[in-house]
Amino acid sequence: MDADHGGGTGNEKKLAWPGVTDRPDQAAGDDPAIPDVISEAGSGIPPGQTDAAPGDTASGPVPGSAGRRQGGGMAALSLPYQIAAALALSVIGLLACAHVAMIFLHVAPSNTLTKQHGEVVDDWVFPEFEQNWKLFAPNPLQQNISVHVRAELADNGADGSRITRWMNLSRDDGESIRGSLLPSHVDQNELRRAWDFYSGSHDSESRPNGLRGELSERYIRRIVMLRLAEYGYGGTVERIQVRSSVRSVGAPTWSDEKISTRPEYKELPWWTVTPSDLPAADVADQASQAGKAEAGNPQARNPQAGKAEG
């Protein structure tokens, strides 16, 4: 009957799933009832031929197989490089956390940690990471403070002396900073911090409060003499006088507050310039001039010689 209906002989073996070349749960060739020829025919590949391109004799895993390293970034690195990258990221993270903690302790109100480790915090913060504001209690500056100086000069070859005009040292620093992409730390803070140091260590009558007051005064005098060396004032500086100009910041246009913006000046006493106040170059020049004067006047080198000759 098989021959009558299907045209086959009785020795032929029927397929378990007629017309189906693959099963979802079982690969072709696992069931003896499914010949390998059927699996190859269902995939469109002639029997006895693989899916490799003609002439491709390279062996190895097929692209996209499990043997290929997946992903990118650190996962694409070898194990030693992954360990090195992880250590570097850990060190950077620790430094960032330590920096944030130091800045927080610096700007935070006084507490137990800052009292015990205040020197460590200051060494970390100053001078590169200086903060001019206080956390939880902001107190922005409401005044513009400028430092002025004038000098008393001894005219060369003339009797008497003359006094220069007032020179605004703070304005010179502002012009050096304005428009600069990398302003100098000296231009930004040297004169300003020195004047704050001086004001905080003197009373209203400009009397020093202990050794810090004397130190701040010498500091101001040296800074002033360094700045005067940049001017072509001519003559030898014998005395200097410093004053401060305080001008309140005006109220905004939308405010009804009345604030006087007229400057208020505070003049300090005249200071006699000493060799310790001079820059190193000026000290060397004075020493050379003194040597020349002694060379031209033997009596200056040995006063007793003049008396003996007389």
pLDDT digit string (tens) for 113-146?
Answer: 888 888 899 889 887 887 766 666 556 678 899 9
**Domain ranges for the chain:** 1-50, 75-125, 143-251+259-282
pLDDT at 24: 53
- In 3D space, the residue among 235, 229, 203, 228 whose CA is nearest the CA of residue 216 turns out to be 203
pTM: 0.51
Q: Which residues contact 122 (CB under 8 A, 6 or more apart)?
A: 106
Pair 224, 235: CB distance under 8 Å: no
d(CA 248, CA 267): 18
* Phi, psi (deg, nearest 5) at residue 152: -100, 120
pLDDT at 201: 92
Residues 71-113 pLDDT 10s: 677 788 889 899 999 999 999 999 999 999 998 888 888 888 8
For the chain, residues with pLDDT lower than 50 are 1-3, 27-28, 37-42, 57-58, 64-67, 298-310
Pair 177, 187: CB distance under 8 Å: yes
Share of the chain above pLDDT 90, in %: 31
**CB contact burial 253-290 (16+ within 10 A = b; e otherwise):** eeeeeeeeeeeeeeebeebebeeebbeeebeeeeeeee
